[in-house]
Amino acid sequence: MSLQGKKILLGVTGSIAAYKSAHLTRLLVKAGAEVQIIMSASASDFITPLTLATLSKNPVLSQFKKDETGEWNNHVKLGLWADLFLIAPVSANTLAKFANGLCDNLLSAVYLSARCPVMLAPAMDLDMYQHPSVLANMSKLRSFGNQILDAESGELASGLSGQGRMMEPEHILLELLRYFNSSQEFKGKKVLITMGPTQEALDPVRFISNHSSGKMGLALAKAFQERGADVYVVSGPVSLEVEKEKFHWKDVNTANEMFRASSSIHPQMDICVFAAAVADYAPAKVSEEKIKKSDSNVILELKKNVDIAGELGKLKKINQIHVGFALETENEKENAKAKLQKKNFDLIVLNSTREEGAGFKLDTNKVEIFQGSGQSVSSEVSSKDVIANLILDQIKTIPVWI
């Protein structure tokens, strides 16, 4: 895979991560891309234009006019020239400008003029990254169709540790390679994804559930869709921003509803990925009225729920692929491998609640993927989008697929 002949406009803004844009530029040029760099004024406090001009083999732009000649740097032309506009690192300040249409420098003028896809790789301290205003700006930018390359977790310039590091240049390169080289290898394939939690009612106002946000399942749905598949999602209750029209989307609440919805389409599916965190037990009796508070303790009787992946695993045809997840707190590998056999999976994705940056609710995950043959691959802590694509890459190595 290469970026041969691709025109990449690289925006660099004021962040300590700007030093990484030198390495990123080198990787892009090495992959065959033509790179034109635009820096914000504060970016040059962190890295010199000369470094980036030398590595990109092009003069670096930052002003509307060229100093010596007074000649105009045409932002419209730049926006139209690019096949892709990547801003890495993008600071909280520039995110806010882009989200709100501010246009006070060359970079933001090019952003407003660009017709090509835009990818943004934020970098900031962990509390800034979680601030509601930054989250709202990122969500707004996503709604414009921009792709946010989620920040990675680790040590930050402040000395704190958490999510906020710019996605590593190698991972950004991978995202670009995927974007340009996506060969639609899942075209014509029907894929079922179960995702999110299930809610099992106790009475009209209470339920048993778990912390699944649906983020991992949604990342998988998007990855399959981007790589050509026809995606059927059966989702428990989640509160994610989703363009449901891109998928065949079915919302459910309980394990039984998820089972019914999944079984009805299972025979037509080529690939099924069971990413849902299905409640293993449900209250044996659902009270029709709200259970009243009393002075004594309440003992709940729970009944076992249907094992969706297990039941559909029994019906799996020779040309179908089933992928399971395992969320473990102890004896991780042994338990995951046992589930792979028991539920007739071709592949199981192990994520542990003990790993920092992995599991429920986070935008990141860290997984080990086991094949039936015993082979396995491990990931670093990466965005759930990156993990989803890694899972798809592994699915492609399953003999049924080849």
The conformational region for residue 366 under phi > 0 = left, psi -120 to 50 = alpha, else beta, is beta
Residue 100: CB minimum distance to ligand PMT, A: 29
Distance CA 228, CA 360 (A): 27
Q: 256 to 285, contacts with ligand PMT by CB under 6 A?
A: 274-278, 280
Among 364, 312, 323, CA closest to 152: 364
Report the residue number, 75 or 266, with the smaller CB distance to ligand PMT: 266
- Identify whether 210 is a catalytic site residue: yes
Smallest gap, in angstroms, from Cβ of residue 351 to ligand PMT?
A: 5
- What would the two tokens of residue 318 be? 């020779």
Distance CA 161, CA 332 (A): 25
Give the shortest CB-223-to-ligand PMT separation in angstroms.
14
Characterize 251-273 residue by residue with b for buried, 16 or more Cβ atoms within 10 angstroms of its Cβ, and e for exposed. Answer: ebbbbebbbebbeeebeebbbbb
Residue of 58, 73, 74, 210 marked catalytic: 210
User: What does the alpha-carbon distance between residue 331 and residue 317 come to, in Å, rounded to a whole number?
Assistant: 30
Stretch that binds ligand PMT, among 13-21, 49-57, 239-247, 300-308 (CB under 6 A): 300-308
Q: Which of 361, 396, 399, 400 binds ligand PMT (CB under 6 A)?
A: 361
Q: Is 351 in the site for ligand PMT (CB under 6 A)?
A: yes
- Residue number with CB closer to ligand PMT (123 or 349): 349
Among 327, 388, 390, 392, binds ligand PMT (CB under 6 A): 327
CA distance 114 to 77: 9
Question: Given the complex with ligand PMT, which of 78 and 278 has the nearer CB atom?
Answer: 278
Segment 202-261, which members bind ligand PMT (CB under 6 A)? 212-217, 255
Q: Are 228 and 184 in contact (CB under 8 A)?
A: yes
Q: Is 39 helix (H, G, I), strand (E, B) or coil?
A: strand
**206/20 Cα distance (integer angstroms):** 49
360 in contact with ligand PMT (CB under 6 A): yes
Q: Which of 257, 307, 355, 393 binds ligand PMT (CB under 6 A)?
A: 307
Binding interface with ligand PMT (CB under 6 A): 194, 212-217, 255, 274-278, 280, 305, 307-309, 324-327, 339, 343, 351, 359-361
Q: Which residues are catalytic?
A: 210
